[in-house]
Structure 1
Amino acid sequence: MRLTALPALADNYIWCLAGDDGAAVVVDPGDAAPVLAAVEAGLRPQAILLTHHHDDHIGGVSALQARFPGIRVIAPEEPRIPMATERVADGERVQAVGRTFHVVSVPGHTLSHVAFHTDEHLFSGDALFSLGCGRLFEGTPSQLLATMRSLASLPAQLLVCCAHEYTVSNAVFARHVDPANAALRQRHEEALAMRRDDRSTLPVLLADELRSNPFLRTHTAPIRAAVSAHLGREITDDVEVMAGLRHWKDGFRA
């Protein structure tokens, strides 16, 4: 299978997983134009996976349905995604283009957010970014902590295919929180070099994120100490650490 990231909108990626014959699954098409351009080059969309309801993830679906009548549109139980043809929930599986996609509930950024993973790839939408995670627009810190733990428990060899090119900006905050982390420093330097060459910083191994993403490391001493110092009081509760870290990131300015 061939994995392709189609740049879209300001900083989104639309992920396409395609076989040799072009038959493909398209993930979170917030804009139809990049997908239709890929169709002209031989892509044959067979199914669309949607992680959550935000327009920069679903905005191109209607145009793709018009171009490909009957295409499967697979989404969580969410009335704000009215164009879905199939609904999925945590623990379910989807078969498409010869691959099994496992569904994982990942609330936080939105309440109904899901991720999809195969044996090789994790399509995390806005739940997990490289060196960061999505803002809590609807969920709670407790839900975000559970989501990070759920994602951290997946096979470390998975390639994380998140929906935005945020690695460099996330790295600045992450290094502010965890300045002694050598894996994080290396990831930041690599990401800077990639962006200078106009290359994507994604996908990234989940194993690398487990070593360097502070939101996956709230249980570690360096992250707890940093959040405690930022808040001016000792924090030991996991939910409080996550809440403090997310609030810190929301207001952070380099």
Structure 2
Amino acid sequence: MTISIQTSFAFECDRPTDCMLQFEAANIPEQQILDCHSDLTDAAHCARIPAQEEIGERILVRAQGRFEVQHSARVQVERQLAKLGTLEHLQPHELPAAPVKYLFDSRYCLADKFQSIVESEFAGTSGGARIAAIHDWIAHKFTYAPGASTPETTALDSFVERRGICRDFAHILITMARASAIPARYVACFAPDVTPQDFHAVAEVFLNDPATPGGGTWQLVDATGMATPDEIVKIGVGRDAADVSFLTSFGMVKLCEKTVQVTRD
């Protein structure tokens, strides 16, 4: 599947301010970059650094005044897919080193508070079957409501409110997966059927890979139901939204505008 992406955003800084940007389609084996172009306002400092897990890049800039970003890309998604419900649970002692950190609590995902909840709600399930059950539970219990949450909203807040946007849906799935001792991480991405069009967020869980004895596989799961793994273009991954924001500022900035358009070729 080939996905075309057009995105732009602008922000203003009253004084020189360091910012970290992550907005480009990642160049990784599961998605081939056919075309890619990014334009940024000239800045006093601009440097690229690898993002988490070497998935995508971050751009560090020192900006002042109005700063504009434009990005376009065509991406061929070539991801190997598996039937989620058939994948088995890897116990923590069976995990390779890299996914272990995605069992821990993070800023927005306090999994230790959900252990009794997942055991009562999803008793009798494990591995991919539990993730599928969590996905269906969120779909039944939660309402997608733009404007219903803030950048401070945690998975616990979302659990109480039972509404939110894609980041909140991803956080609650990640939190319940970790509470089930399944490594889970946050994925910033593009996808064509997201409504309204915007940077999107999904979860990714680490389960047993039946094709590789003793190995594991990361599988994408969109709790909102708006994106499917074969059409998701990854931007980056992290413990939660704090790690993969398209704009992180180390000082006061004002977001002026943002547009995202994602289509199938």
Which category describes the TM-score, using the shorter chain as reference length? under 0.3
Task: Indicate the structure with greater helix content.
Answer: 1
Task: Indicate the structure with greater strand content.
Answer: 2
Answer 1 or 2: higher relative contact order, Cα 8 Å, separation at least 6: 2
TM-score, normalising length: structure 1: 0.27
TM-score, normalising length: structure 2: 0.26
